[in-house]
Amino acid sequence: MDIPYTTQPRPDTGIYNAKIGIWLFLASEVMLFGALFSSYILLRVGAAPADWPHGLLNIPIGAFNTVVLIVSSVTVVMAWASLKMKKLAQFKLFQAVTVLCALTFLWVKSYEYREKFSHYEVWKTDGTRLTGHIEGKPMFLTLAKLQVAKKEKIEFVADPHHYSEGKTPMVKHEAHAEHKPVEIPLAEIKRLSAFVPAHSTYFAVYFTMTALHALHVLGGAIVIGYLFGPGSKMWFTDPERLTNRVEVAGLFWHFVDLVWIFLFPVLYLL
């Protein structure tokens, strides 16, 4: 006996197996990201304002990534619609664009990450705090690493504002040019940290949530890519089952977009 309702919907529920399967999985993903958002809220509400960075993420780049995902959401549902309209070539085009959007998103994200890994905050022993860059744009430096390397000072190009000075407008990169490097002796530094997860709970949340989201983008891209490539051969043996698979993959993809729709304002704008 074969497993029924893989393609045709079951009469009393009105859906086919994979669709209930993906919605159940998405329900669990809602709980996963919901827990992370709850954690974010709890940690933020309990934090001292001076310790909660804001304005340190590049908003135009984040908005661009948001647009990329929205476009990919349109193309992925258009890919499914193309199959329903029996247009295989159009389906392949839309699937390919979706994957390209996904890869673009991931590349931009990795660029953002690298930017942050070479952007630093310095806590000086006199209590002042500076954010900025170190000459040479090294990544992941800490006070301990500098001491081990027997350095005595750093060349620091400070940002015009520090985030604890109230809600700062986005740090424009043009302002960068005005400043010359300043020497800070290691002896005056209490703590040095790039904007890495260990910097603060804000960045811990930012990196954890966006990395987990990026993993979902990658996973979705792989599945959608598979359906574009080797998986599309099923069009010639069982077109309805392929259409259902494309629909199910699209549902996952839309959920990934949905999470980002919340992540972007929460992490970048608020």
Partner 1 sequence: MSDHTADFSSHVRGYLIVGAALLIGTLLTVWASYIDLGHHWNIVLALVIASVKASLVALFFMHLISEKQLIYTVLAFTVFFVTGLMFLTLTSYHDLPAQTVTH
Partner 2 sequence: MQATTLTPPHVEAHPHPAHHAHHAHQEDAGFWRTYIFSTDHKIIGIQYGLTALCFMLFGFCLMLMMRWQIAHPGEPIPLVGPLLEKLLGNPAAKGVMSPDLYNSFGAMHGTIMVFLAVVPLAFGAFGNYVVPLQIGAPDMAFPRVNMASYQCYLLGGIIMLVSFFIPGGAAQAGWTSYSPLATTIPTDGQTFWLIGMVLLITSSLLGAVNFIATIVQLRAPGMTWMRLPFFVWAQFVTGFILLLAFPPLEAAGIMQLMDRVAGTSFFLPTGLAVGGHLANVSGGGSPLLWQHLFWFLGHPEVYVLILPAMGIVCEVIANNTRKPIWGYKSLVYSALFLGTLSFIVWAHHMYLTGMGTKISAFFQTTTMIISIPSVIILTCFFISLWGGSIRFNTPMLFALAFLPMFGIGGLTGLPLGFAAADLHLHDTYYVIGHFHYVVAPGTIFAMFAGVYYWFPKLTGRHMNEFWGRVHFWCSFIFMNIVFMPMFAQGMAGMLRRMSDGGLNYSEARGPDVAGTLSSPIIGLNKFILWGGVGLAISQVPFIINLFRSIWKGEKIASDNPWEATTLEWQTPTPPPHGNFAHAPKVFRGPYEYSVPGASKDFTPQNALEAARNS
Contact partner, 239, from partner 2, partner 1, none, Cβ < 5-8 Å per class: none
Contact partner, 14, from partner 2, partner 1, none, Cβ < 5-8 Å per class: partner 1
The verdict on 130 binding partner 1 (CB under 8 A) reads no
The verdict on 32 binding partner 2 (CB under 8 A) reads yes
Q: How far is the CB of 254 from partner 1 (least distance, A)?
A: 5
Q: Which is nearer to partner 2, 128 or 183 (CB)?
A: 128
Contact partner, 207, from partner 2, partner 1, none, Cβ < 5-8 Å per class: partner 2
Size of the site for partner 2 (CB under 8 A): 42
Which among 100, 94, 98, 69 is positioned nearest to 79, based on CA atoms?
94
Which of 23, 107, 111, 140 binds partner 1 (CB under 8 A)? It is 23
Residues 122 and 192 sit within 8 Å (Cβ to Cβ): yes
Binding to partner 2 in span 43-62, by CB under 8 A: 43, 46-48, 51
Quick one: which segment of 103-111, 146-154, 224-232, 261-269 binds partner 1 (CB under 8 A)? 261-269
- Binding residues (CB under 8 A) for partner 2: these are 1-5, 10, 13, 15, 17-18, 20-21, 24-25, 27-29, 31-36, 39, 42-43, 46-48, 51, 193, 196-201, 204-205, 207-208, 212
